[in-house]
Amino acid sequence: MEGIAIQLRDLRKSFGDTTAVAGVDLEIKDGEFFSMLGPSGSGKTTVLRMIAGFESPTGGTVELAGQDVTGLAPFERDVHTVFQDYALFPHMTVEANVAYGLKVRGVPKTERLARARTALAEVRLEGYGTRRPAQLSGGQRQRVALARALVGRPRVLLLDEPLGALDLKLREQMQVELKALQREVGITFVFVTHDQEEALTMSDRIAVFDQGRIQQVGTPAEVYERPATPFVASFVGTSNLLEGESAERIVGTPGTYSIRPEKIRVLKDSAEPDDPDHESPDHESPDRDTPDQESPDHESAAGTVAEVVYLGDSTRFLVDLDAGGRLTALQQNLETSAEDVAAYRGSRVRLQWHRRHTVHVPDPR
């Protein structure tokens, strides 16, 4: 069943003079875990609200399973939403919240209660049915909202930054659970987030939004390894761009290039006439194996370490290049300690990476 769940054609939305969505074309497949990633104000939530039917587009169409639903009300669409702040009905029990959609559609009481209990079990909340939303923790409310949206088995589930209010540990746990749940029920999930890591972890495909437009659509690997625009290169992952003159000197041709920090090796620059009194830390080089010195497959650039950030499992080096500009390199702390890497601050280094990791980023402007 490789059908199309959602088709957006030239979707636009303006609020007064401000344009929230400036022409979005998108195709989301059945059963896909699809993320809409972007900073706040990039239009991703507005697109979601137009799919749900809470906002009517200024232009363009929304199709669900091949049917044009642009003019339909939310209650006429086979789509349910998990809201950012859950939007649970505070005056109803957890069970009544979950059964609400079934009740509205006239499902008999015994059946809807049974289905509500099953749905609560699916999100591991058995036995919480008689409580009120106010008596639950944030993570539990999140699950109730999920059960409430899933119990009617909609064709598409829309999730509006559902993990935004949870703390880091719980968020990571919910990411795994959400993904497992989606695989289990096989429903198309459209997931809005501003957290690039979340989008990379969970999605089958990602659409990166900026200023009301889609910058790139692709699998997490495509978006991360082959960013299509400078915006995607900087928003997904650490911004690491070579531009203008320094790009021309290092890569050989002018343009904008993105190099992911973990692809770059930091080598102690031995050609540098060092201060003889200063003890060189190169016996503790963060690199264990010596790379081929001037291999034609490799790009390299000399520079000075401006800052060293110890991150526990890895270290981030901020290097000011001689050719101009700054690159960030990320090294695993395999053998090195915090003291070792701190000694690198201010010293001369050579950065080296494989040519295939230099990604040319076409500037759309």
Residues in contact with other proteins by CB under 8 A are 52-54, 73-75, 79-81, 83, 85, 87-91, 100-101, 104-105, 148-149, 152
Helix (H, G, I), strand (E, B) or coil at 328: strand
Let me know the angle formed at the C-alpha of 81 by 209 and 186, rounded to the nearest 5 degrees. 90
Shortest CB 101 distance to other proteins, Å: 4
Q: How far apart are CA 163 and CA 161, in angstroms?
A: 6
Least distance in angstroms from the C-beta of 295 to other proteins? 57
Compute the least distance from the CB of residue 324 to other proteins, in Å: 49
Q: Is 62 helix (H, G, I), strand (E, B) or coil?
A: strand
Nearer to other proteins, 6 or 267 (CB): 6
Amino acid in the structure at residue 307? E
Nearer to other proteins, 74 or 346 (CB): 74
String of DSSP letters for 326-342: EEEEEEE-SS--HHHHH
- Least Å from the CB of residue 86 to other proteins: 9
Closer to other proteins by CB, 70 or 314: give it.
70
Nearer of residues 90 and 252 to other proteins, judged by Cβ: 90
What the block records as the tokens of 29 is 């497949």
Through-space distance between the first and last CA atoms of the chain, rounded to whole angstroms = 39
- CA dihedral over 65, 208, 236, 225, signed as positive or negative: positive
Which tokens sit at 280?
Answer: 């060189």
Nearer to other proteins, 47 or 149 (CB): 149
The minimum distance between CB 81 and other proteins, in angstroms, equals 5
**CA–CA separation, 128 vs 140, rounded Å?**
9
> Least CB distance from residue 54 to other proteins, whole Å?
5
Other CB atoms within 10 Å distance of the CB of residue 16? 5
C-beta closer to other proteins: residue 64 or 79: 79
